[in-house]
Amino acid sequence: MMKVIEHEHPLMLIDLQVKVEDVDDESDDEEEKEEDLVPQVEFSCTCKRCEEDINEYYRVCEGDFDYDGDLWIYKCEKCIYYVHLDCATSRREAFMSILSIDGGQTIKNYKDADYPNLLHLPFPDQSYSIPKHLFSKELGLADYGNHEVSLRHTNHQHELILVDAGSIGSTSSKINDMIMCHNPMKKIELLCSGCVRPIMEMPFYKCRAKEDENCNFALHEWCTRLPTKVDNHPGHPQHPLLLMPNIPNMFNIFHCGVCLLDCNGFAYGCVECRFYVDVTCGFMPERITHESHPNHLLSIVEDQPSGYCLMCCSFSNQSFSFSCSYCDVYIHLRCALFLPKTIRHPNDKHPMHISYLPIENHKGEYFCEICEEELNPHKCFYHCDVCSQSVHSDCAPLILQCETETYSEDGGRGVCLFLNMKFGSIHKKTDGHPHPLTFAQGIESDGGCSVCAGRLRFEMILRCSECEFAVHHDCLGNLNNS
């Protein structure tokens, strides 16, 4: 019996060889021979480690076994969990580093005293982020005077007002009556314009612009104190990265050179080299630990040669990943930094927890409750233990994804394609269309682009609320120039 630390139940070694009963060696009828072969176990599954099919149907031909896989596997008798014998015992595989014959914990390969500021991931919930971890401070009555009631920020043209439950009688009291924090259960969405993470607690800063100006700019309190420069960034050590007041395009959209996601939050960038990173990736740690691979130190690496991401099970072809040199394990940077341990989603009244393995005693097949597509339980996903509901990790993080269909048919990205995008801005100056346009994500009902006729679903678009006009974000420039 084998015990695996990442799996709470013991694994049994089982023999997959077929039992041959009364096979007539003189018979030339191959089909008749096969009918006499009785597989010991009949099911279809994949190996947890290599993701290859475990084929348990074997043939006997001229006295020899002709099989596609191992004759022995490790199998959990209490849940859906299987692994090839070779995958479990090969020292070239990461799996070997988490095997324990006596069921004990893996040996810790670092000392806490050597890494006093080590970041332990995943973050507890959606309210946590690297900027909060680095730049926030505990608030209390004694601290309140340290926060300006109003301020000007270099990244925004309007005055910002402090929104805080304790600011009764301040100039922000009227705003407090109208603004609520991000609340998934009530479908209230409030994203920080800096880090593009949910604003789930006070105090925060909100634009004081008049209601008719439709300005949805808001900042976490800690995002008002971001440093103006980052030196020696691992992705661009040759030049300092400066906090950019704006990116020279319509909605400040840039492509992060680290997580490879589009973003319209604050950027740290080198204009000379056209290298930009989002706020989270601007302060990416050099080393972390992660509960998907406990007790081992993970270090940032660039252009790793091979290996699957432990969380999303896709090839680690991102520009940066976290790697365990001891086990040859990789985790995409964006999977590690952007997927919290728990989320709240309006599809379920209970907190949903991230899972890296098939759920114990789960009955039936796995389907995502949001996109209703099949869910691979060997890739990380979110699950409610009470309701037995599961959702893709890239369907889960934001509250309106069930309406905006952020999970596309070519999914498997691990994180939402538009996780770093804040939609809802209004674009009023469009020469080719008389009405204001809303920056949004395209859904199926948007149909085709009014300029190029291409599909709008899963794309960044501008949509008119007064007519059926909708256009790709990239096509709007052509519209203005026409």
Tens digits of residue pLDDT in 393-417: 888 766 665 454 554 444 456 788 8
C-beta separation of 234 from 286 below 8 A: yes
Tens digits of residue pLDDT in 435-467: 889 998 888 888 999 989 999 988 899 999 888
**Quick count: other Cβ atoms within 10 Å of Cβ 427?**
16
3-class SS letters over the chain = CEEECCCCCEEEEEECCCEECCCCCCCCCHHHHHHCEECCCCCCEECCCCCCEECCCCEEECCEEECCCCCEEEECCCCCCEEEHHHHHCCCCHHHHHEECCCCCCCCCCCHHHCCCCEEECCCCCCCCHHHHHHCCCCCCCCHHHCCCEECCCCCCCCEEEECCCCCCCCCHHHHHHCCCCEHHHCECCECCCCCCECCCCCEEEECCCHHHCCCCEEECHHHHCCCEECCECCECCCCEEEECCCCCCCCCEECCCCCCEECCCEEEECCCCEEEEHHHHCCCCEEEECCEEEEEEEEEECCCCCEECCCCCECCCCEEEEECCCCEEEEHHHHHHCCCEEEECCEEEEEEEECCCCCCCCCCCEECCCCCECCCCCCEEEECCCCEEEECCCCCCCCHHHHCCCCCCCCCCCCCCCCCCCCCEECCCCCCCCCEEEEECCHHHCECCCCCCECCCCEEEEECCCCCEEECCCHHHHHHC
Q: Average pLDDT of 172-182?
A: 57
Tens digits of residue pLDDT in 10-58: 677 776 654 444 444 444 554 444 444 444 444 456 777 676 766 543 3
Least confident of 23-32, 143-152, 241-250, 293-302: 23-32
Q: Average pLDDT of 236-240?
A: 95
Tens digits of residue pLDDT in 335-365: 999 999 998 887 788 999 999 878 766 666 7
Bond into 358 cis (ω within 30): no
Nearest CA to 149 out of 179, 128, 176 is that of 176
**pTM of the entire structure?**
0.73
- Rounded CA separation 357/477 (Å): 46
The residue among 259 and 17 whose pLDDT is bigger is 259
Tens digits of residue pLDDT in 309-340: 888 887 756 678 999 888 778 899 999 999 99
Give the domains, in start order, of the chain with CATH numbers: 2-100 (no CATH), 144-225 (no CATH), 229-282 (no CATH), 287-337 (3.30.60), 339-404 (3.30.60), 426-481 (3.30.60)
Bond into 346 cis (ω within 30): no
Tokens 């339980």 sit on residue: 377
Task: Copy the structure tokens of residue 39.
Answer: 């597989």
Paired residues of 236 in beta bridges: 233
Distances (CA, A) of 241 to 159, 174, 385: 26, 38, 43
Give percent of the chain above pLDDT 90: 26
- Rounded CA separation 296/326 (Å): 8
- Rounded CA separation 388/350 (Å): 11
- Rounded CA separation 448/429 (Å): 22
Identify the band that residue 278 occupies on the pLDDT scale cut at 50, 70 and 90.
Answer: very high
Nearest CA to 362 out of 375, 347, 344, 345 is that of 375
